[in-house]
């Protein structure tokens, strides 16, 4: 471990150092062949740097898992800021430092972040560099990408809340820069501003929460703040307020209701950005923050104080999950479906965390650890799967664009780029039948969707069941009646997830191509398949992780992963999932689990197949496992197709198209309240405050022109004035004397 | 010897006449003459005081005042002559260049 | 004949440059051996190199330039600018040498009340008790270093300004006068330099400013002068309230009193130790208010702020950069040097006043910003808003709040010159400052857009840039002192982000492939900023990052100063009550 520790600081520092280097080189060598070719406009540097960070991370993780139990604080540098405060008439000295904190949660996230950053860098080599619209500005992309990675890695490693916040904001900045990458587009510029401002609102809450926290504990270091004695010594009410404020910050960053409005618009950014920031890493920051609140909830001194906060967390999760899934029903844009899916799945994790925190605060430590572990495992699975899904969708969009170019030019009309914008390469109603043309992408997307849906044995299944189970266990435990809402919502949403994810897959890959462009699609871009294949394997390998008792390990600081007993571990997990356990309410929970499996695996996808399934075009052959899926969908459609036009044209659908009107409300609040108030202030400043000054100016000038009349220019008047003045002085002196 | 008070009275009368003239008259030379009258009145006052108290300080002031009056008249006449050369008038009513 | 003139001109140029550089070099070399030493064995690096030389050199250069016939003035411009920059860099070298210990080994973390490094006292006007008393402590040294770093950067950024032969020496004189304010430890000297700074700024606005420059220059001068006159009243009152000392009368001081700040501080500390309000609580409150008015006008704080937008909009780039960067900090500096050090009981009584004014400046300033369409006015009001944080930091009555407020002065002093350099470059190249008149500038002026984004982000408090440290330290102390009122600064953070992002969206983003050029450009191709402007802005950007990542370089001395202030006098006042 010691060897890896020495270099651990390089994990976030290397990308930060490379960021200005790429900017500088990009400016100097812009347009040259070597820079575009071999250096991939900075992509090579970015990939190498992230690869090195990944290597260092893995080295660190291996050392950690092998040698350390519990947590470890390393590399402390004190006195970044040192100061004093007045306490009871004395000056007490405090300081903020910087160090790294490793425990099971941060190690897991470190792996997720560095692994995905690396894979997405490779993906970008193919995606960004082969798109002519990005020519000569990719260096900006790679530089901002590296800065973001540095922010995420730094946040995961930080050992106090201040540096967590600092890196949190850095990620916010990069999100702004990257969403607005195509800044010449008004929609992109608007989306970037919206994202920054919405998360800013959350950040202010988080900041205030940290201020309260500091004033309670005198420090923001994890080791101080989580110490049992310190927690016991502070006021529970104030701590609850602090935690609530921090939670609002997490709501903003992870795009939960009501600060969710920025995530769909954020799809304006290039696809690697969506994959990295808005699926795999940045939105996990909010979850990481809530996870870091666990010790407060688990503290015996605070037992029972925070239950309402935990229930609130679960409710927000439940509401967002349901709402996002509902809106995903009507989305035509493939990236928007994934965006809402992200929102929904993150909400799942919030629900799981809410349940875990509730259990922790009511003294059910073992169940709390299981629920917490399930939530973290779901974070892991979701990050892998969603990152892959976005990359796969990027692959589809990319090839659609290429095909559009071919089609447009083949027709002999050399249309300019402007015309391309009219053809929406992201619209699923332009796709169809791509399973045979894009085998790798289709497989990746199928596996990813399966993981998200929770198809048994594949990635997300293991964690999702844990979350649903935890929520139901909570509502069945005495005192947990309020958890019924989230539990129900999460159950229903499982089915909905099955529907909309399958809908997405079948609209894109099954059936016949709906446009000539879709017909001409070929999977040809280099580099893109690499991350897709890697992550497919990872997702399918979720079962192995489950076998490691990953869930247990993540939650419990003292647990260990049992690498040697993988098979028995897998067996234990399987029995855990598919057989009723003997515990309290075990029967009901088992029923719920089975119900979830049924609706998410059979009802949801089945309905989607019925509406959107279909055989491939004649003469097209897909890979065997894809072909099976497509023909299944064709059969279901033939037998069970029903008309959904009443649903599609209903008022509810219309409302969903408007994203349930939240965006419109927020926009009009800004326009109707804030902007007029600002204009009023500006008017007030110019006319009233400055008006007073101008009044003084005017008054003094008028007064001066009145007094000036004394200077008549006539000598006689002056002599008179002199004489009178002398007389006055004489009288004064005479009077005084 | 007459009572020095009478000299003071004469001085006051002369002062009033001179002041009235300086303020009222239009012709600049006349005004200068009136200022001379004022100064002479003041000199009378000083002499009377000196005579009453027997203090030579009064006569010293008088000599100073005479010398300064002479200098002042010289400069004043020079200014008015130069002004007349430009403007063909020395009526105080028409010297309004410094009006606001 | 023409050849003759050219040769003579070149000779004169060479002679001027060589001569002045030689003299300066000789002086710098000989200086340590002839310079005065104080009791601690330190050389007086302040009086001549930092205060007198810049002012004298600036005056000499301007005089030399004015003596040239008009047609030769252009030729003389380059060498004069070069000499000015060299002087400025020498000043920077000295102050950095003092910072890092190359010239004198000084521990700037002084942590004692009323203690100064490099303290020198020369008798000046003995008969009324005025002496030339200079010294540096944690508060003033950071401001001095800030000034010495800004002067060369301003000169570089505005290298291509017209009439450079007057412009750059004027900036040099400005620098000398500003440093004079910060090192002064005698009230008379303080006031002289305080007013002296107005003069170069007045001329900068008058000669190089925009269309309405006469009005703006007059308003700036008279408005701030009025505030300063009230402060002068306070100074004189304070002077006459001191007890008359027979020892001083024997030395030839007619009134038996001195203007010396350090003596007054000793008196204040003794009173605080004895739990008595120095000079009587009512007198102290009156004096506090008199000084406060002068400083509030300078800061500027609402409602005395309306001179700033006009002055900034009309001022040239150099004027704005120096005005926002250093001149405004004089107000904050004065608050610390006079109001907190000498009038602690009054400070405690008026804590609510500072809180109110600071809060109004902060929140109201940011909302007014949101309603602006002129780029420079927007940045001017954001300055008003940030200066409110300084008042809030002082109002908290915590050492952290004080240190944070001083760091805000420092950080804002680096960031706002960058903002004004950007705005000035906009005006210079696009001939307009209207936010609504353009779109998509990033495509045509990428460097300008980059620095605009960087500066805007720094100003709204992005972490790892200097502004964040200032904000978070003040906010931590603020919660401790005032609890839930912190919501108002929180709202301001959001509004600040809103107006900055909105202005970026409307100027440098959007606009399709070609953008939308303002009419003021008249169809000419859109320019990007020159190398000089890029260099200046890059230096400021690097400094912003440096002090965001390594704030302790100056934060430690500010903490030490705050500790000394509290340990020396304020703890007694808070605990004992007056």
| Contact assessment for residue A356 and residue A516, using Cβ atoms and an 8 Å cutoff | no
First-to-last alpha carbon distance for chain B, in angstroms, is 54
Residue A483 tokens, joined? 């958890």
Q: Do chains C and B touch (3 or more CB pairs under 8 A)?
A: no
The span from the CA of C578 to the CA of C567, in Å, is: 16
DSSP, res A427? B
Contact A197 C497 (CB under 8 A): yes
CA proximity to A284, closest of A341, A342, A229: A342
Look at phi and psi of residue A449 and say left if phi exceeds 0, alpha if psi is from -120 to 50, else beta: alpha
pLDDT value of position A415: 43
List, in order, residues 6 or more apart from A496 with CB less than 8 Å away. Answer: A322, A325, A326, A328, A329, A604
CA proximity to C406, closest of C194, C182, C195: C182
Place of tokens 């892959």: A388
The span from the CA of B11 to the CA of A226, in Å, is: 103
The span from the CA of A348 to the CA of A464, in Å, is: 8
CA proximity to A261, closest of A668, A651, A647: A668
β-partners of residue A86 are A91
More confident residue, B88 or A643: B88
CA proximity to C61, closest of C70, C51, C50, C73: C73
Query: Considering only CB atoms, which chain C residues are within 8 Å of A183?
Result: 440, 442, 508-510
Q: What are phi and psi of A96, to 5 degrees?
A: -105, 135
Question: Is B22 touching A (CB cutoff 8 A)?
Answer: yes
CB atoms within 10 A of CB B36: 17
β-partners of residue C133 are C121
Question: Is A708 touching B (CB cutoff 8 A)?
Answer: yes
Q: What are phi and psi of C278, to 5 degrees?
A: -60, 130
CB pairs under 8 A between A and C: 160
Q: At B55, which CATH number?
A: 1.10.287.3510
Give the structural domain span for B37.
4-99
Average pLDDT taken over every residue of chain A:
86
List chains adjacent to chain C, taking adjacency as at least 3 C-beta pairs closer than 8 Å.
Answer: A
Contact C501 A162 (CB under 8 A): no
Find residues 321-360 of chain A whose CB sits inside 8 Å of chain C: none
Find residues 452-511 of chain C whose CB sits inside 8 Å of chain A: 457, 462-464, 468-469, 472-473, 475-480, 486-487, 490-491, 493-495, 497-498, 501-502, 505, 508-511
Residue A710 has, within 13 A of its CA and on its CB side, a CA count of: 9
Interface test with B, best of A716, A722, A727 (most B CBs within 10 A): A716
> Residue A454: is its pLDDT beyond 60?
yes
The span from the CA of A442 to the CA of A510, in Å, is: 10
pLDDT band at residue A205 using 50, 70 and 90 as cut-offs = very high
β-partners of residue C130 are C125
pLDDT value of position C3: 47
Residue A88 has, within 13 A of its CA and on its CB side, a CA count of: 0
| Contact assessment for residue A201 and residue A208, using Cβ atoms and an 8 Å cutoff | no
Residue of A nearest to C547 (CA): A80
| Contact assessment for residue C483 and residue C397, using Cβ atoms and an 8 Å cutoff | no
Q: Sign of torsion, CA C427 C429 C432 C433?
A: negative
Q: Are strands C117-125 and C130-136 parallel, antiparallel or unpaired?
A: antiparallel
Going from the C-alpha of C419 to that of each of A81, A629, C404, C459, C547, the distances in angstroms are: 26, 59, 21, 8, 17
| Contact assessment for residue C108 and residue C524, using Cβ atoms and an 8 Å cutoff | no
List, in order, residues 6 or more apart from A704 with CB less than 8 Å away. Answer: none
Going from the C-alpha of A517 to that of each of A332, A414, A614, the distances in angstroms are: 17, 16, 19
| Contact assessment for residue A206 and residue A245, using Cβ atoms and an 8 Å cutoff | yes
Contact C556 A82 (CB under 8 A): yes
CA proximity to C291, closest of C247, C345, C352, C339: C339
List helix spans (H) across C252-374: 261-273, 281-298, 307-314, 317-322, 328-334, 341-342, 344-349, 351-370
Using DSSP's 3-state secondary structure scheme, residue C317 falls into: helix
Contact A165 C463 (CB under 8 A): yes
CA proximity to A280, closest of A329, A345, A370: A345
> Residue A412: is its pLDDT beyond 70?
no
The span from the CA of C422 to the CA of C433, in Å, is: 11
Pick B92's closest partner by Cβ from A710, A714, A723: A714
CA proximity to A539, closest of A385, A712, A415: A385
| Contact assessment for residue A211 and residue C479, using Cβ atoms and an 8 Å cutoff | yes
pLDDT band at residue B2 using 50, 70 and 90 as cut-offs = confident
- Beta-sheet strands, E only, within A220-313: none
Please give the helix or strand (H or E) that residue B37 lies within, else none.
Answer: helix B28-53
Please give the helix or strand (H or E) that residue C91 lies within, else none.
Answer: helix C73-100
Contact A713 B98 (CB under 8 A): yes
Pick C399's closest partner by Cβ from A86, A165, A681: A86
Query: Considering only CB atoms, which chain A residues are within 8 Å of C491?
Result: 204
| Contact assessment for residue A222 and residue A101, using Cβ atoms and an 8 Å cutoff | yes
| Contact assessment for residue C447 and residue C529, using Cβ atoms and an 8 Å cutoff | yes
Give the CA-trace dihedral at A387, A392, A396, A401, to 10 degrees: 50
First-to-last alpha carbon distance for chain A, in angstroms, is 98
The span from the CA of A519 to the CA of A404, in Å, is: 10
| Contact assessment for residue A335 and residue A393, using Cβ atoms and an 8 Å cutoff | yes
The span from the CA of C215 to the CA of C223, in Å, is: 12
The string of pLDDT tens digits covering residues A561-576 is: 666 666 676 777 666 6
CB pairs under 8 A between A and B: 37
| Contact assessment for residue A32 and residue A25, using Cβ atoms and an 8 Å cutoff | no
CB atoms within 10 A of CB C2: 6
The string of pLDDT tens digits covering residues A622-639 is: 888 888 888 888 888 888
Find residues 167-206 of chain A whose CB sits inside 8 Å of chain C: 167, 169-170, 173, 176, 180, 183-186, 189-190, 192-193, 196-197, 200-201, 203-205
CA proximity to C91, closest of C18, C152, C182: C152
The span from the CA of A404 to the CA of A578, in Å, is: 47
Question: Is C368 touching A (CB cutoff 8 A)?
Answer: yes
The span from the CA of C245 to the CA of A509, in Å, is: 97
Q: With pLDDT > 70 as the criterion, what percentage of chain A qualifies? A: 92
Give the CA-trace dihedral at A60, A66, A72, A74, to 10 degrees: -40
pLDDT value of position C259: 93
Q: Sign of torsion, CA C165 C171 C174 C179?
A: negative
| Structural domains counted in chain B | 1
Contact A184 C440 (CB under 8 A): yes
Interface test with C, best of A158, A211, A246 (most C CBs within 10 A): A211
The span from the CA of A379 to the CA of A464, in Å, is: 10
Query: Considering only CB atoms, which chain B residues are within 8 Å of A715?
Result: 28, 31, 92, 95
Residue of A nearest to B25 (CA): A716
| Contact assessment for residue A492 and residue A597, using Cβ atoms and an 8 Å cutoff | no
Contact C563 A683 (CB under 8 A): no
Mean pLDDT of A449-471: 85
Contact A81 C555 (CB under 8 A): yes
Taking 70 as the pLDDT cut, the residues of chain C under it are: 1-11, 13-14, 25-26, 28-35, 512-515, 576-578
pLDDT value of position A322: 93
Contact A723 B23 (CB under 8 A): yes
List helix spans (H) across A660-714: 662-669, 675-684, 690-707
Query: Considering only CB atoms, which chain A residues are within 8 Å of B93?
Result: 714
Using DSSP's 3-state secondary structure scheme, residue C457 falls into: helix
Find residues 372-391 of chain C whose CB sits inside 8 Å of chain A: 372
pLDDT value of position A253: 92
List, in order, residues 6 or more apart from C144 with CB less than 8 Å away. Answer: C50, C95, C136, C179, C182, C183
| Contact assessment for residue C78 and residue C159, using Cβ atoms and an 8 Å cutoff | no
pLDDT value of position A456: 82
| Contact assessment for residue C334 and residue C300, using Cβ atoms and an 8 Å cutoff | no
> Residue A643: is its pLDDT beyond 80?
no
Contact C463 A201 (CB under 8 A): no
First-to-last alpha carbon distance for chain C, in angstroms, is 80
Query: Considering only CB atoms, which chain C residues are within 8 Å of A189?
Result: 505, 509-510
The least confident of A175-189, A434-448, C10-24 is C10-24
The span from the CA of A293 to the CA of A454, in Å, is: 27
DSSP, res C339? I
CA proximity to C116, closest of C49, C176, C192, C38: C38
Q: What are phi and psi of A691, to 5 degrees?
A: -60, -35
Question: Is A711 touching B (CB cutoff 8 A)?
Answer: yes
Contact C469 A693 (CB under 8 A): no
Pick A714's closest partner by Cβ from B24, B25, B96: B96
pLDDT value of position C5: 53
The span from the CA of A344 to the CA of A338, in Å, is: 10
Contact A166 C457 (CB under 8 A): no
The least confident of A468-477, A584-593, C415-424, C514-523 is C514-523
The packing angle between helices C164-183 and C198-208, to 10°, is 160
pLDDT band at residue A559 using 50, 70 and 90 as cut-offs = low
Contact B99 A715 (CB under 8 A): no
List chains adjacent to chain B, taking adjacency as at least 3 C-beta pairs closer than 8 Å.
Answer: A
């Amino acid at each position: 471990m010691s060897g890896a520790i020495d270099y651990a600081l390089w994990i976030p520092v290397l990308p930060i150092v490379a960021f200005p280097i790429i900017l500088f080189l990009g400016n100097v060598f812009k347009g040259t062949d070597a820079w575009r070719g071999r250096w991939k406009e900075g992509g090579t540097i970015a990939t190498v740097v992230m690869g090195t960070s990944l290597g260092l991370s893995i080295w660190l993780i291996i050392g950690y898992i092998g040698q350390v139990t519990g947590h470890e604080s390393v590399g402390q540098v004190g006195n970044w800021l040192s100061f004093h405060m007045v306490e009871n008439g004395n000056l007490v000295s405090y300081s903020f430092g910087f160090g790294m904190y490793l425990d099971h949660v941060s190690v897991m996230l470190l792996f997720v972040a560095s692994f995905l950053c690396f894979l997405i860098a490779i993906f970008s080599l193919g995606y960004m560099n082969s798109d002519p619209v990005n020519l000569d500005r990719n260096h900006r992309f790679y530089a901002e990408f590296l800065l973001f990675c540095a922010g995420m890695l730094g946040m995961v490693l930080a050992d106090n809340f201040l540096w967590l916040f600092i890196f949190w904001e850095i990620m916010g900045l990069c999100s702004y820069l990257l969403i607005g990458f195509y800044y010449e587009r008004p929609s992109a510029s608007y989306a970037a501003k919206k994202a920054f401002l919405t998360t800013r609102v959350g950040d202010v809450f988080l900041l205030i929460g940290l201020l309260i926290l500091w004033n309670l504990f005198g420090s923001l270091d994890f080791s101080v703040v989580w110490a049992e004695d310190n927690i016991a010594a502070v006021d529970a009410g104030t701590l609850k307020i602090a935690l609530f404020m921090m939670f609002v910050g997490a709501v903003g960053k992870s795009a939960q209701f009501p600060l969710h409005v920025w995530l769909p618009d954020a799809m304006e950014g290039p696809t690697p950005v969506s994959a990295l920031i808005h699926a795999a890493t940045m939105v996990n920051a909010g979850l990481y923050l809530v996870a870091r609140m666990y010790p407060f909830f688990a503290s015996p001194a605070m037992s029972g104080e925070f239950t309402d906060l935990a229930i609130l967390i679960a409710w927000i999760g439940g509401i967002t999950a349901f709402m996002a899934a509902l809106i995903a029903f009507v989305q035509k844009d493939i990236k928007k479906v994934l965006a809402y899916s992200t929102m929904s799945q993150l909400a799942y994790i919030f629900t799981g965390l809410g349940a875990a925190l509730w259990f922790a605060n009511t003294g059910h430590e073992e169940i709390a650890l299981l629920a917490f572990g399930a939530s973290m495992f779901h974070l892991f699975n979701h990050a892998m799967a969603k990152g892959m899904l976005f990359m796969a969708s990027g692959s589809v969009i990319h090839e659609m664009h290429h095909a559009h170019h071919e089609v447009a030019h083949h027709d002999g009309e050399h249309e300019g780029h402007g015309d391309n914008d009219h053809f929406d390469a992201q619209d699923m109603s332009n796709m169809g039948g791509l399973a045979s043309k894009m085998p790798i992408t289709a497989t990746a997307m199928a596996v990813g969707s399966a993981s998200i849906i929770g198809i048994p044995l594949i990635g997300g299944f293991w964690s999702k069941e844990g979350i649903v189970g935890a929520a139901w266990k909570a509502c069945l435990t005495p005192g947990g009646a309020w958890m019924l809402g989230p539990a129900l919502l999460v159950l229903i949403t499982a089915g909905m997830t099955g529907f909309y994810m399958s809908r997405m897959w079948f609209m894109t890959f099954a059936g016949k191509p709906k446009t000539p462009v879709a017909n001409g699609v070929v999977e040809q871009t280099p580099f893109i398949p690499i991350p897709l294949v890697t992550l497919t394997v990872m997702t399918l390998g979720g079962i192995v992780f489950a076998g490691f008792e990953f869930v247990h390990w993540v939650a419990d600081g003292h647990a260990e992963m049992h690498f040697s007993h993988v098979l028995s571990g897998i067996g234990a997990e399987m029995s855990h999932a598919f057989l009723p356990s003997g515990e309290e309410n075990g029967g009901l929970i088992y029923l719920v689990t089975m119900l979830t499996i049924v609706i998410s695996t059979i009802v949801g996808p089945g309905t989607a197949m019925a509406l959107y399934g279909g055989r491939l075009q004649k003469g097209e052959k897909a890979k065997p496992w894809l072909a099976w899926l497509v023909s299944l969908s064709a059969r279901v459609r033939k037998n069970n197709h029903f008309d959904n036009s009443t649903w599609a044209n209903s008022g509810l659908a219309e409302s969903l198209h408007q994203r349930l009107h939240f965006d419109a409300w927020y926009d009009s609040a800004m326009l109707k309240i804030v902007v007029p108030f600002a204009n009023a202030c500006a008017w007030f400043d110019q006319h009233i405050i400055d008006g007073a000054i101008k009044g003084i100016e005017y008054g003094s000038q008028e007064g001066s022109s009145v007094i000036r009349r004394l200077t008549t220019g006539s000598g006689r008047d002056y002599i008179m004035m002199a004489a009178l003045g002398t007389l006055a002085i004489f009288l004064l002196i005479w009077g005084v004397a | 010897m007459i009572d020095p008070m009478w000299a003071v009275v004469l001085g006051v009368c002369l002062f009033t006449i001179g002041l009235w003239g300086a303020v009222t008259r239009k012709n600049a030379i006349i005004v200068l003459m009136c200022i001379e009258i004022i100064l002479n009145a003041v000199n009378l006052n000083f002499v009377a005081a000196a005579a009453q108290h027997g203090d030579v300080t009064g006569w010293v002031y008088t000599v100073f005042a005479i010398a300064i009056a002479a200098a002042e008249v010289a400069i004043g006449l020079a200014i008015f002559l130069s002004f007349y050369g430009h403007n063909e008038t020395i009526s105080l009513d028409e010297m309004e260049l410094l009006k606001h | 004949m023409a050849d003759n003139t050219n040769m003579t001109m070149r000779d004169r140029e060479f002679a001027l440059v060589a001569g002045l550089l030689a003299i300066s070099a000789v002086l710098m070399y000989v200086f340590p051996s002839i310079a005065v030493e104080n009791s601690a064995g330190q050389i007086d690096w302040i009086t001549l190199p930092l205060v007198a030389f810049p002012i004298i050199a600036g005056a000499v250069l301007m005089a030399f330039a004015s003596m040239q016939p008009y047609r030769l003035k252009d030729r003389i411009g380059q060498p004069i600018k070069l000499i000015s920059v060299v002087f400025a860099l020498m000043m920077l070298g000295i102050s950095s040498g003092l910072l890092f210990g190359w010239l004198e080994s000084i521990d700037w973390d002084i942590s004692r009340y009323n203690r100064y490094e490099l303290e020198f006292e020369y008798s000046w006007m003995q008969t009324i008790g005025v002496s030339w008393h200079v010294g540096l402590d944690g508060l003033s040294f950071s401001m001095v270093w800030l000034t010495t770093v800004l002067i060369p950067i301003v000169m570089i950024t505005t290298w291509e300004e017209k009439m450079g032969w007057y412009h750059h020496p004027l900036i040099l004189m400005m620098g000398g006068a500003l440093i004079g304010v910060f090192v002064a430890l005698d009230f008379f000297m303080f006031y002289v330099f305080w007013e002296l700074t107005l003069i170069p700024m007045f001329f900068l606005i008058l000669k190089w400013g925009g269309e309405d420059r006469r009005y703006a220059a007059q308003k700036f001068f008279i408005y701030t002068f009025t505030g300063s006159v009230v402060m002068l009243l306070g100074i004189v009152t304070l002077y006459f309230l001191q007890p008359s000392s027979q020892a001083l009368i024997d030395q030839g001081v007619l009134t038996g009193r001195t203007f010396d700040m350090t003596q007054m501080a000793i008196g204040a500390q003794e009173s605080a130790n004895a739990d008595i309000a120095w000079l009587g609580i009512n007198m102290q409150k009156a004096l506090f208010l008199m000084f406060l008015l002068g400083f509030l006008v300078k800061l500027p704080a609402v409602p005395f702020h309306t001179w700033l937008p006009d002055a900034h909009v009309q001022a040239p780039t150099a004027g704005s950069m120096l005005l926002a960067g250093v001149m405004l900090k004089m107000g904050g500096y004065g608050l610390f040097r006079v109001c907190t050090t000498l009038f602690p009981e009054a400070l405690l009584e008026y804590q609510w006043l500072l809180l109110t004014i600071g809060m109004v400046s902060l929140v109201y300033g940011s909302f007014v910003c949101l309603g602006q369409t002129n780029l420079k006015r927007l940045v001017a009001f954001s300055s008003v808003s940030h200066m409110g944080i300084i008042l809030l930091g002082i109002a908290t009555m915590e050492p952290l709040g004080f240190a944070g407020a001083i760091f805000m002065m420092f950080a804002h002093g680096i960031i706002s010159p960058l903002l004004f350099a950007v705005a000035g470059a906009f005006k210079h190249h696009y001939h307009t400052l209207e936010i609504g008149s353009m779109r998509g500038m990033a495509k045509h002026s990428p460097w300008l857009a980059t620095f605009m984004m960087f500066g805007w982000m720094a100003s709204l408090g992005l972490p790892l840039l200097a502004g964040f440290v200032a904000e978070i330290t003040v906010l931590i102390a603020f919660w401790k002192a005032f609890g839930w009122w912190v919501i108002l600064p929180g709202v301001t953070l959001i509004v600040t982000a809103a107006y900055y992002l909105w202005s970026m969206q409307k100027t440098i983003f959007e606009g399709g492939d070609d953008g939308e050029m303002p009419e003021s450009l008249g169809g000419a191709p859109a320019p990007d900023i020159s190398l000089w402007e890029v260099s200046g802005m890059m230096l400021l950007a690097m400094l912003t990052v440096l002090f965001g990542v390594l704030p302790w370089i100056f934060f430690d001395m500010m903490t030490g100063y705050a500790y000394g202030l509290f340990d020396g006098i304020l703890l007694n006042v808070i605990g004992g009550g007056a």
